[in-house]
Structure 1
């Protein structure tokens, strides 16, 4: 938590510092803009964004912060569905690849290759598959799951393969089968690999949900709100950044929830390690 606050303070300082000394027209090198414009239209002050959160979205309407919060909660629900689905798929794939070497050799390249498909092209395809069978939000959840399964599958596979040969041989000497070895040895050893992968999966699920909402036009979420607010970028630039701030905070919330899940399991693992020693 402390590091997150420090990181936020540093980000604000860098933003305001560049705005104070940066070129309003941007820095151009060999005809290519290498640094963004520092004018109020492109980079409004942080306090202007915060003030805009407290003002009504439209005349007589709700404050912007309420609209952003409602949209973020909508996207959070979709992200949670996609994250859980992606994590379960990733775990199952990792277990299958660890159990059968031929599955790892045949499947892992395609798992890696799957992440090269552009989401902008994938979203309409998934929406077309669903048609009227499932609601729009489920298409967005599938896109989030598509991005979330990859880090879990790769990280968990590495974790399941991390036990030393001596530990595996010890389990065999106890006549422990594959399933018991998985539960008693491989899965506990994989926890330090699993939770960083889950944090990456959470961030990827947020990105997938936001991009999916933008690509499919799903209403009610923060992705759609970014599109709607971007139409007012020339007249109300701070309003655009309020939606982006909501998306960024959504990613932090998902990462924090994963960290809360990590604490009891890792504490139990450390306790078991101490007792074993």
Structure 2
């Protein structure tokens, strides 16, 4: 068993399989959920389960014990609400206060490429200046809060659109009335790559960094959804003439820093 202990705040669609992968690698893993019904699932995965929430204060009888780890993975998105930006900042203020009182040395924050505006070109880690969406602004604010702390080191990983397993384009097609911006390049990443990237950052000790994480191939929306519709045997919604502003997320910094080779470099190959 590895000596390092890891706590994962948010064991949902990404966090739970990440926790399982870390357990298989020999890490001692603690995981949190906001649902009491999910506690047995964490136990079955070999994870020490905790019932915690941020509303916006960190709540849970064993919150301090949960943070008795070397590394903390923070994996919860901003809540959809009118005061999304202010509320997310309050959540992280409470969390940071608790981390300061803990032995946590390293924090990995799961963020999103929604922090980048549509600049009509490739975007790198330095381009997160003026997010266009409230959730993007909320994420950038709490990224900065974590990075400013001196009692622990933080690495931020900005993932693009998460796909894989039950997250398939066929599910989205059933709800789409039309395909807007059919020529727009897509920024996607498979869950398998997300998990492997997080594990490599932890293994290599790449702390104090900000990384983009996105598959290197960016299919056009029309090509991606056309292939998905064909495979699913469903009708492709009509494409709308005209293009919206776009961005192409560049992950070269991550690839060079940890020597990463994507398991799923082309999202089209997974359809």
Q: TM-score range by the shorter chain?
A: under 0.3
What TM-score results when the alignment is normalised by the length of structure 1?
A: 0.21
What TM-score comes out, normalization by structure 2 length? 0.22
Q: Choose 1 or 2 for highest CA Rg.
A: 1
If each structure's strand is expressed as a fraction of its own residues, which one has the higher value?
Answer: 2
Higher helix fraction (1 or 2): 1
